[in-house]
Amino acid sequence: MGDESGGLSANKGVAQEDEGNTTPFPERVQVGGSPMFKVERKLGKGGFGQVFVGRRVTGGNDRLNGPGATEVALKFEHRNSKGCNYGPPYEWQVYNTLGGSHGIPKVHYKGRQGEYYVMVMDMLGPSLWDVWNTTGQAMSAEMVACIAVESLSILEKMHSRGYVHGDVKPENFLLGQPGTAQEKKLFLVDLGLATKWRDTSTGQHVEYDQRPDMFRGTVRYASVHAHLGRTASRRDDLESLAYTLIFLHKGRLPWQGYQGDNKSYLVCKKKMGTSPEMLCCFCPTPFRHFLEFVVNMKFDEEPNYSKLISLFDSVLGPNPALRPINTEGAQKVGQKRGRLNIEEEDDSQPKKKVRLGVPATQWISIYNARMPMKQRYHYNVADGRLAQHVERGIADGLLISCVASCSNLWALIMDAGTGFTNQVYKLSPFFLHKEWIMEQWEKNYYITSIAGVTNGSSLVVMSKGTQYTQQSYKVSESFPFKWINKKWREGFHVTSMATAGSRWGVVMSRNAGFSDQVVELDFLYPSEGIHRRWDNGYRITATAATWDQSALILSKPRRRPADETQETLRTSQFPSTHVKEKWSKNLYLACLCYGRTVC
Ligand SMILES: Nc1ncnc2c1ncn2[C@@H]1O[C@H](COP(=O)(O)OP(=O)(O)OP(=O)(O)O)[C@@H](O)[C@H]1O
């Protein structure tokens, strides 16, 4: 499937045929004590499985649904498929908990037959993708509002049972069978990417994490947090639902059509750069309000489903019986809404809005508490003036602790507390100058700070007297999380980082004095992630930013400092007066970079 058909879910990309698996589907199926079903026409195919109509061979009772139904849907997954590495498909487990609850089809039997795992479930009708395609590729606002309220009630139910769906999109919403009483009822299928947002044993929200190479879901509808590899939570289903609704109504999303290896990056960048106002032009206002609300949600925030549902009240037809999609589930939530009304008038605190569609670049400066020491800063330093600043610093007993750059000019922090015994530095037209670095490595110098500028030149500082025992670096076109992850497993930690234009340079060292390290990467300054990490004992130890993204490395020190205070500042000018104020509180500049902070 190409982009225009909505695309396959990532992490399930390998369809059976692609794996060279040609095992024919059985003609008849009988699993887990089910009656015998004849396998008839194919209903659909996804990344994991294929779904066929199954017609009951013996003793059907003409019932439409339930274990005695004449026609059922049979979902086949080959036992060698990716999802069946550890036995039956993971989806089975999720259906055990959720199957048959509001808006989730019932699974009546399941079992293995030959090479296939087979699930026997209620037969449903066309997906919203099919309906959209057969209705001129645009749905009326009223139809989409019905979908909004009903799918919110389905998600509320699913979330209340501890799960997030993880792949909300038009293809995964199915209507009931045409010509039956269920034809206007909405169902959510494909639970293969569902994850728990709440720990079953403790009842607590799962821990926040970000692993920037962990994308699960479908590029077109994925939330920005999902693109960035953050642990899935309830807000992500709602953001995907917002994109689904806007797509169904407008017929197109602004990030369709990207191709190639960095498609997910480009789509995510576009999502971040599109304000709700832009995205929802030509949509009734409730759509924009809904989107604004969900993109501003916190990781563990409990969605106010009834309030979200009520946003769409004005777009729904007055008579529920005449609506194009059943909204019974939502009506139930609505009744609850009436009772909850009074407590819910808590809109007094306006939230800080993200995604205003206006990118901005700033200085990000990080300050650590330290024993009083001498520190000096220089900024707007042109190439030709670098040497004199460094020499004067050395003469005063200072060494370079940190370098950065802005608009092809350098910033230089020198202080008396580096612990280094000796230092060399190199200004070169390359990002980074490999031969020079190798030469210094030979002489037992290790990289302690790097900076780069758009034209590709770089400033590398290497020092003696560090605790490092081995070092490695990488320059790449996109943030090299995969490499970092590999090096973490080999005992390295990120010790410095810089960008030159859109390129990233990351230095990792062995014996860096950290017991653990994490990354925060975003198209804006990732405040929420940083605060969550801080609460867990991490402190920022490296920063770098391009025009598009900011990355922060946070580490847990092996030996905890007496004072763990760390403060951060974002300023459009170099923070010269702020630095002095911080010094007076014994806070000293520890990391510095210039780049993308707000969007
Ligand atoms: N109960 C059902 N009744 C009718 N059609 C169904 C049913 N379940 C699934 N289908 C059809 O089969 C398609 C694939 O099913 P499903 O999404 O469960 O598979 P998947 O391999 O997990 O998919 P994906 O790659 O989209 O995540 C659906 O889009 C739908 O068209």
What single-letter amino acid sits at 197? W
Q: Is residue 83 in contact with ligand 1, taking CB distance under 6 Å?
A: no
Would 216 be classed as within a structural domain?
A: yes
Q: Is residue 526 in contact with ligand 1, taking CB distance under 6 Å?
A: no
Would 1 be classed as within a structural domain?
A: no
Q: Which residues are annotated binding-site positions?
A: 75
Q: Is residue 190 in contact with ligand 1, taking CB distance under 6 Å?
A: yes
CB neighbour list of residue 400: distance below 8 Å, 6 or more residues apart: 390, 393, 412, 413, 414, 418, 423, 425, 448, 449, 461
Look at 270 and 44; give whichever has higher pLDDT: 270
Q: Verify that 163 and 257 share a domain, yes or no.
A: yes
Q: Verify that 267 and 324 share a domain, yes or no.
A: yes
Q: Which residues are annotated binding-site positions for ATP?
A: 75
Q: Is residue 217 in contact with ligand 1, taking CB distance under 6 Å?
A: no
What pLDDT was estimated at residue 395?
A: 97
Q: Is residue 71 in contact with ligand 1, taking CB distance under 6 Å?
A: no
Q: Verify that 293 and 427 share a domain, yes or no.
A: no
**pLDDT-based confidence at residue 392 (cuts at 50, 70, 90):** very high
Q: Verify that 137 and 235 share a domain, yes or no.
A: yes
**Which atom of ligand 1 lies at the shortest distance from residue 171's CA?**
29
**Which atom of ligand 1 lies at the shortest distance from residue 77's CA?**
21
516-536 average pLDDT score: 95
CB neighbour list of residue 84: distance below 8 Å, 6 or more residues apart: 77, 78, 117
Contact 392, 376 (CB under 8 A): no
**pLDDT-based confidence at residue 60 (cuts at 50, 70, 90):** low
Active-site residue, selected from the candidate residues 3, 18, 122, 167: 167
Q: Verify that 109 and 142 share a domain, yes or no.
A: no
Residue closest to 369 by CA, chosen among 534, 555, 565, 584: 565
Q: Verify that 108 and 135 share a domain, yes or no.
A: no
Q: Verify that 272 and 181 share a domain, yes or no.
A: yes
Where is 447: in which H helix or E strand? Answer: strand 446-452
Asked, as a colleague might, if the bond just before 186 is cis with ω within 30 of 0, I would say no
Going from the Cα of 55 to the center of ligand 1, the distance in angstroms, rounded, reads 18
Q: Is residue 141 in contact with ligand 1, taking CB distance under 6 Å?
A: no
Q: Is residue 124 in contact with ligand 1, taking CB distance under 6 Å?
A: yes
Which residues constitute the domain of residue 245? 126-333
Q: Of the ranges 271-275, 336-340, 362-366, 371-375, which one carries the lowest mean pLDDT score?
A: 336-340
What single-letter amino acid sits at 282? F
Model confidence at 16: pLDDT above 70: no
**pLDDT-based confidence at residue 330 (cuts at 50, 70, 90):** confident
User: Two tokens at 555?
Assistant: 């580490």
**Which atom of ligand 1 lies at the shortest distance from residue 123's CA?**
3
238-256 average pLDDT score: 98
501-524 average pLDDT score: 96
Contact 168, 221 (CB under 8 A): yes
| Total count of domains within the chain | 3
Task: Quote the CA–CA distance of 576 and 181 in Å, as a whole number.
Answer: 70
Last residue within a domain, chosen from 87, 121, 155 = 121
Q: Verify that 114 and 163 share a domain, yes or no.
A: no
Rounded to a whole number of angstroms, the distance between the first and last alpha carbons of the chain is 32
Mean pLDDT of the chain: 91
Report pLDDT digits (tens) over 410-428. 999 999 999 999 999 999 9
Would 501 be classed as within a structural domain?
A: yes
Report pLDDT digits (tens) over 531-549. 999 999 999 999 999 999 9
Which protein residue's CA is at the shortest distance from atom 28 of ligand 1? 44
Q: In degrees, to the nearest 5, what angle opens at C-alpha 212 toward C-alphas 211 and 216?
A: 85
What pLDDT was estimated at residue 296?
A: 94
Model confidence at 17: pLDDT above 70: no
Q: Verify that 142 and 113 share a domain, yes or no.
A: no
Q: Is residue 121 in contact with ligand 1, taking CB distance under 6 Å?
A: yes
Question: What ipTM was assigned to the predicted interfaces of this complex?
Answer: 0.94
397-419 average pLDDT score: 96
Ligand 1 pocket check: which of 19, 64, 75, 104 to mutate, most ligand atoms within 8 Å of Cβ? 75
Which protein residue's CA is at the shortest distance from atom 24 of ligand 1? 46
Would 353 be classed as within a structural domain?
A: no
Last residue within a domain, chosen from 103, 121, 139 = 121
Model confidence at 15: pLDDT above 60: no
**Which atom of ligand 1 lies at the shortest distance from residue 193's CA?**
27
Query: Which position has the token pair 């209705």?
Result: 135
Model confidence at 61: pLDDT above 70: no
Going from the Cα of 124 to the center of ligand 1, the distance in angstroms, rounded, reads 10
Report pLDDT digits (tens) over 264-313. 999 999 999 999 999 999 999 999 999 999 999 999 999 999 999 999 99
Going from the Cα of 190 to the center of ligand 1, the distance in angstroms, rounded, reads 6
- DSSP letter string, 472-539: EEEEESS--HHHHHHHHHTTEEEEEEEEETTEEEEEEEES-SEEEEEEEEESS--HHHHHHHHHTT-E
CATH number, residue 76: 3.30.200.20
Percent of the chain with pLDDT over 90: 82
Would 324 be classed as within a structural domain?
A: yes
What pLDDT was estimated at residue 331?
A: 72
Would 464 be classed as within a structural domain?
A: yes
CATH number, residue 143: 1.10.510.10
Going from the Cα of 235 to the center of ligand 1, the distance in angstroms, rounded, reads 24
Task: Quote the CA–CA distance of 494 and 504 in Å, as a whole number.
Answer: 13
Report pLDDT digits (tens) over 63-102. 667 777 789 999 999 998 887 888 899 999 999 999 999 9
Would 65 be classed as within a structural domain?
A: yes
What pLDDT was estimated at residue 406?
A: 95
What pLDDT was estimated at residue 354?
A: 66
What pLDDT was estimated at residue 449?
A: 98
Which protein residue's CA is at the shortest distance from atom 26 of ligand 1? 46
Q: In degrees, to the nearest 5, what angle opens at C-alpha 178 toward C-alphas 172 and 181?
A: 105
What pLDDT was estimated at residue 328?
A: 86
What pLDDT was estimated at residue 332?
A: 72
Q: Verify that 202 and 306 share a domain, yes or no.
A: yes
What is the DSSP-derived secondary structure letter of residue 450?
E
Which protein residue's CA is at the shortest distance from atom 19 of ligand 1? 46
495-506 average pLDDT score: 97
Q: Is residue 46 in contact with ligand 1, taking CB distance under 6 Å?
A: yes
Ligand 1 pocket check: which of 40, 51, 131 to mutate, most ligand atoms within 8 Å of Cβ? 51
The per-type count for the chain, helices as H runs and strands as E runs, is: 15, 25
User: Two tokens at 457?
Assistant: 């030149």
Q: In degrees, to the nearest 5, what angle opens at C-alpha 400 toward C-alphas 395 and 402?
A: 155
Q: Verify that 487 and 509 share a domain, yes or no.
A: yes
Q: Verify that 92 and 194 share a domain, yes or no.
A: no
**Which atom of ligand 1 lies at the shortest distance from residue 122's CA?**
1
167 labelled catalytic: yes
Model confidence at 521: pLDDT above 60: yes
Task: Quote the CA–CA distance of 205 and 302 in Å, as a whole number.
Answer: 10
**pLDDT-based confidence at residue 20 (cuts at 50, 70, 90):** very low
Q: Is residue 189 in contact with ligand 1, taking CB distance under 6 Å?
A: yes
Would 341 be classed as within a structural domain?
A: no
